[in-house]
């Protein structure tokens, strides 16, 4: 079974930052709008949107500040439990999973590692 049965496309790109306000100001200057702000424990998070592109930026003070420092790419899924079942069936390496208090009702997700150690997140709005 393919993920195409539950995946609908790109949900967001995750970019860690050491200065959330500076990052927000930069992307807003490029035409992005702040679509959502939230806290995840001690981390402040902002979702910035331009058309169909959403960037999740979060202040974790661990941004490495080098080329290629995007943390993850998230795919939107209609059924994260089914996506996880498919990942398990394919013997993919799941490195993280959980729920976060973002958007109106939260999100449920899991993250796998790709062949280049890239992180790919499967994310469902609840």
Q: For residue 91, with 0-12 CB atoms within 10 Å meaning exposed, 13-18 middle and 19 or more buried, which class applies?
A: exposed
Q: What is the pLDDT of residue 67?
A: 81
Q: Would you put residue 60 in left (φ > 0), alpha (ψ -120 to 50) or beta?
A: alpha
Q: Give the mean pLDDT of 11-35.
A: 95
Q: What is the pLDDT of residue 1?
A: 58
| Domain containing residue 28: CATH number | 3.10.180.10
Run of H or E residues at 107: strand 107-113
**Percent residues over pLDDT 90 in the chain:** 79
Query: For residue 2, what pLDDT band results from cuts at 50, 70 and 90?
Result: confident
Is the pLDDT score of 7 beyond 90?
yes
* Total domains present in the chain: 1
Average pLDDT over the chain, rounded to whole? 93
Q: Which domain holds residue 65?
A: 3-125
Q: What is the pLDDT of residue 116?
A: 78
Q: For 35-91, how does the pLDDT look when each residue is reduced to its tens digit (9 = 90+)? A: 999 998 899 999 999 999 999 999 998 888 888 788 899 999 999 999 999 999 999
């Amino acid at each position: 079974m393919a993920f195409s049965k539950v995946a609908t496309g790109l949900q967001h790109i995750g970019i860690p930052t050491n200065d959330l306000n500076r990052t927000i100001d930069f992307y807003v200057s490029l035409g992005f709008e702040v679509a959502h702000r939230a806290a995840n424990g001690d981390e402040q998070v902002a979702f910035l949107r331009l058309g169909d592109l959403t960037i999740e930026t979060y202040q974790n003070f661990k941004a490495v500040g080098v080329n290629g420092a995007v943390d993850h790419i998230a795919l939107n899924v209609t059924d994260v439990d089914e996506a996880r079942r498919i990942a398990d069936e394919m013997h993919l390496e799941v490195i993280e999973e959980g729920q976060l208090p973002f958007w109106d009702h939260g999100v449920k997700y899991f993250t796998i590692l790709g062949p280049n150690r890239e992180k790919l997140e499967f994310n469902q709005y609840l």
